[in-house]
Amino acid sequence: MDSYRFLLFGALVFILMLLFQAWEADQRARQPEPPAASAPVGAAPAPAERARTPSGVPEVPAAPSAAEAPPARAPASAAAATGAAKVVVVTDVVRAVIDTQGGDLRALDLLAHPVSVDQPDQPFPLLHETSADVFVAQSGLIGHGAGYPTHKVRYRAAQTRYTLAGGAEELRVPLTWQAEDGTRYEKVYVFRRGSYAIDVEYLVHNSGASEWRGYAYGQLVRSYVESGGLFALPTYTGAAIYTPDGKYQKVSFEDMAEQPLRVDTTDGWVAMLQHYFVAALLAEPGAQHQFYSDVLPDQRYVIGLKDLTPTTVAPGETGRLVLRLYAGPKEQDRLEQLAPGLELTVDYGMLTIISAPLFWLLSAIHGWVGNWGWAIVILTFLIKLVFYPLSAASYKSMAHMKKLAPKLQSLKERYGDDRQKLNQAMMELYKTEKINPLGGCLPIVVQIPVFIALYWVLLESVEMRHAPFVLWIRDLSSPDPYFVLPILMGLSMYGQQLLNPQPPDPMQRRIFMVMPAAFTVFFLFFPAGLVLYWLVNNLLSILQQWRINKVITGRGG
C-alpha cells in the first residue's frame, strides 16, 4: 500500500468515525419499548436483585413509585382543591419552583446560561415539566409502616416566594408536614450564593412515645430525550452512576428498560446527564446507600438513591437527614469540589487522559487572553509546535515524493496496466532515492489521538457555550451562521492538497479532489469552535509544508 492510499484510507476512516458517531446518536433517539411488566420503583426487586441490607438492620422499604404521583401540572382548580401551591425561589444563579405537593423541585432555570445568544434574557431550563417533557427532582423519607413524608404528601409553605437577600450567603426554604401520630417534619431546601448545589434537609421532631426510624431517598425523573437526528452532535443524554468500586458508569435509557439497577455502595452519586449540564444526587460520605433505576409509564425514567442505614430519633428529640443535589453546568472546577468522580460527567470518552490536560491548558490560556476563540487559536499553535518534528518529517517525505513525481509518472507510462512490475519498479526507485513511501503518513497517525482528544474537549466544554469570538461568531458552540469558517476550512484543505504529491492513480486523484468539498459540507453542522481549530491547524500545516517544499524542491508549490 503506497502513501497515497494510506492517506486516503485515513481520511475515509475519519469520515466514517464521524458518521458512526452521528448514527449512534440517532439510534439512541429511537425509544426502547419498556418491559411489559416493568415493576415500579416501589416494587421489590427480584430475589437476585434484592438489596443487600447491612447485617442486623431490617430490610429497607422501597421508595414509593413516581408513577403513582399526582399529575405534574394539575389545573388551577385542582391545585386549589388540594391546597397545593408553587413556591418560587430566586438566587443570584438559579430560579427554582418547588411544588408543595410532594415538595418536589419541579423547575430550575440557570440564570447565567441563556437558552440562546439571541435570547439572552431567557435562562436555560435544566429542570422542567411540560405535557411532553418532564425532568424533575423528588425526595422523601420512608420507613416501616405509614406516616412518612414521601414525595406524595402535601406540605405547607409559609410563603410562595423567596429571594436571596443582598449580602446573604444562604437562603432556607422550609416546608412543613405533620403525621397523624403527631410527628412533625420540616423539609428545608438550602440554596447558597453562587452555587448550583442544593441541600435538602429533613428535620424530624419526634413528639411520640417511641423511637422514630427512617430512611431518606432522592430520585431524578426524566422523559426519554429525542436526539437532533443524523447531524446531531454525538453527545450523551441519559443516566450515570459513580461508586468507589465500579467508578464511573453510564446507565442508558436502554439499560434501564432491560434491567432495573440495584447497586449497594458507600459514597458515590447518581445523575442524569445531557450536553453541557447535569443533575446529580450525591450520597452522604461514609453512609451506606442503594442506587436504583426504573422505567415508568409515559416514557419516564428514574435514577435514584436511598439510605440503607436507618436514622433514629428518640422521643422528644429532633433528628436531621440530608440529601445533596447538584443541578447546573458541567464546570469541572465546581464538580471536582463536590464529590469524587463528578467531573467525569464531562465525558471525553477513552481519551480522557489526553483531553483533561488539554482542557487545563486551554483554560489557562483563556485566563490570559480572555477569549475562548483566541485560546483555541493559541492552543492549536502550541500543539502544532509540540508536533513540529513529526510534522516536519512527514512533510519532508511528501516533498521528496513530490520531487519524484515525474519519475513515478514515467514508470507508470512505461509499465501501463502491469501493476506487479509497476510496484516493483516503484520500490526500486524508493530504495535508490532512500525514501520511505510511508514516511509522510506514520508521523500523522501518531498525532491523531491528540486531534480527537481536542475535538472532544471543544465539543464537551460548557465554557464554549455562547462564548463569542470575533465579528459574526457570537457562539463557538453553534455552527457558523454564515458558513464562512467551514468554507475557509474547505479551501485550506484544497490548498494543502496542492502542496502534496498527487496520487498516480486517476481514481485516487479524483477522490482526493472531492474530499475538501465533502468535509466542507460535513463541517457546516459543526460548532464554530471545532471548525476554527481545524482551520487554524490547516493554515499552520500549509505554512510549514510550503516552507519545507521550498527548501527541498526549490519552490513552495
Q: Which pLDDT belongs to residue 130?
A: 86
Residue with cell 502491469: 418
pLDDT at 340 over 60: yes
d(Cα 415, Cα 331) in Å, to the nearest integer? 62
| Residue extents of the structural domains in the chain | 3-19+356-553, 31-37+76-222+233-347
Q: Rounded to two decimals, what is the model's pTM? A: 0.80
| Tens-place pLDDT, residues 374-424 | 999 999 999 888 887 776 666 666 666 666 667 776 777 777 676 777 777
Q: What is the mean pLDDT of the chain?
A: 81
Mean pLDDT computed over 434-449: 64
pLDDT at 333 over 80: yes
**Position 232 confidence tier, pLDDT thresholds 50, 70, 90:** low
Q: Which pLDDT belongs to residue 396?
A: 64
- Dihedrals φ, ψ of 549, to 5°? -60, -40
For the chain, the helix, strand and coil percentages under 3-state DSSP, each to the nearest 5: 40, 25, 35
In terms of phi and psi (left: phi > 0; alpha: psi -120 to 50; beta: otherwise), the region of 217 is beta
| Tens-place pLDDT, residues 30-85 | 444 443 333 333 333 333 333 333 323 346 777 776 544 433 333 333 344 345 68
Looking at 4-13, 282-291, 457-466, which range is the least confident one? 4-13
Q: Which pLDDT belongs to residue 317?
A: 95
Looking at 5-14, 194-203, 311-320, which range is the least confident one? 5-14
**Position 526 confidence tier, pLDDT thresholds 50, 70, 90:** confident
- Percentage of the chain exceeding pLDDT 90: 49
pLDDT at 206 over 90: yes
What CATH number belongs to 31-37+76-222+233-347?
2.70.98.90
CA nearest to 323, candidates 244, 222, 220: 220
Spell out the alpha helix ranges (H) of 310-440.
332-338, 352-369, 372-386, 388-403, 405-415, 419-433
What is the three-state SS of 114-137?
A: EEECCEEEEEEEEEEECCCCEEEE
Centre a 10 Å sphere on the Cβ of residue 205 and count the other Cβ atoms it contains: 18
d(Cα 68, Cα 296) in Å, to the nearest integer? 10
d(Cα 465, Cα 459) in Å, to the nearest integer? 9
With H, G, I as helix, E, B as strand and everything else as coil, classify residue 270: strand
| Tens-place pLDDT, residues 272-286 | 999 999 999 998 888
Mean pLDDT computed over 123-143: 93
Mean pLDDT computed over 251-267: 93
Tell me the sheet residues that pair with 265. 289
What residues have CB less than 8 Å from 350, skipping those under 6 apart?
A: none
d(Cα 477, Cα 410) in Å, to the nearest integer? 50
| Tens-place pLDDT, residues 344-381 | 999 887 888 899 999 999 999 999 999 999 999 999 99
CA nearest to 25, candidates 333, 234, 335: 234
**Position 553 confidence tier, pLDDT thresholds 50, 70, 90:** low
343 vs 52: which has the higher pLDDT:
343
Q: Which pLDDT belongs to residue 122?
A: 95
**Position 264 confidence tier, pLDDT thresholds 50, 70, 90:** very high
449 vs 344: which has the higher pLDDT:
344
- Dihedrals φ, ψ of 425, to 5°? -65, -40
Q: Are 27 and 45 in contact (CB under 8 A)?
A: no
Sheet holding 156-157, edge to edge: 156-157, 170-178, 184-192, 197-205, 318-329, 277-282, 269-274, 238-243, 247-251
- Dihedrals φ, ψ of 87, to 5°? -110, 120
